[in-house]
A and B are shown apart, each in its own frame.
Chain A
Amino acid sequence: MTDAPSRDATRSAVADREGRLTVIASPDNLPRLLALVDDVCRDSGVAPDVAFAAQLAVDEICTNLIHHGYRGMSPGPIALAVAALDDRLVIRIVDRGHRFDPNDAPVPDVQAPIEQRQSGGLGCHLVRKVMDRIDYETTADGENRLTLVKFTRAPS
């Protein structure tokens, strides 16, 4: 992102089937991020399981960014873009915090009995389970770009 992040959320709907939102990574802004996902999914009429996957993935990723992404720094931006294309939902999340690839997170032991059960890594595990593609890159000037893809049925 070349623009300085604004304190307030800025939002524009590029088309019926795309939404964008940039907010500061703070807990107060999580509901706005989730509302954007909900709006795009509802407007584009994706199937309930796709909407659910999108909601869950954005919740998990953005919660991680809010609590850990800018740890040790002043909170920076989270830029979310959700686009419903003909055969897929594409979610892009961009931040300037610590690099963290969801593909690298440890796999929790989902068979472990309760005494050994840890809750770390569960969020990324869920994202990997519900999304079809997860791509992560960090640019030379420190911008982390996450792209999530969920294939959908043909639009009605």
Chain B
Amino acid sequence: MELAVTKSGAVCVVAVRGSIDGSTAAQLQQEFAAHVTGQYAQLVIDCSALDYTSSAGLRVLLAGMKDTRRLGGDLRLAAVQGAVHKVLDLSGFTGILKIYPDVQAAVDSYAG
């Protein structure tokens, strides 16, 4: 799994490439911890190159959502692919987080 972090104004975009499984979830957790601060509590996870996640990934996303919302921000997903969407669906996560078709739409959603 590879991560690439970019900033778009006040929004922090984390692009995740590969798979979030039982062994790579910790790395994602660390990245969130490094970037979720009072200044960057608005996160977008770019899932366009994310092929797979297990519940370990969901756990990290859930914690990220709670942390950012506590700081007045949020964690939103962009460009979610088939298998990942299926896992989000099966676990009911599609009902609790916002998903956008692409990164720009997700970044724009924080404005206004």
A59 touches B58 (CB 8 A): no
Total CB contacts across the A-B interface at under 8 A: 72
* CB contact list, B78-103 vs A, under 8 A: 83, 86-87, 90-92, 95-97
Q: Is the CB of B22 within 8 A of A126?
A: no
Task: State the CA gap A61–B65 with chains docked (Å).
Answer: 25
Interface contact B91-A126, CB-CB below 8 Å: yes
Q: Indicate if the CB atoms of A117 and B23 lie closer than 8 Å.
A: no
Interface SS of A by simple majority:
helix
What is the bound-complex CA distance between A30 and B62, given in angstroms?
A: 23
Number of B residues whose C-beta is below 8 Å from A? 23
User: Chain B residue with minimal CB distance to A109?
Assistant: B92
CB contact between A59 and one of B54, B63, B97 (< 8 Å): that residue: B54
A110 and B83 CA atoms in complex are apart in Å by 18
Q: Which of A113, A117, A123 contacts B54 (CB 8 A)?
A: A123
What are 9 A-B residue pairs whose CB atoms fall within 8 Å in the complex? A60-B22, A67-B22, A109-B92, A110-B90, A113-B96, A114-B65, A114-B66, A119-B62, A126-B91
- Which residue numbers of A lie inside 8 Å of B, CB to CB? 27-28, 30-31, 34, 52, 55-56, 59-60, 62-63, 66-67, 108-115, 117, 119, 122-123, 125-126, 129-130
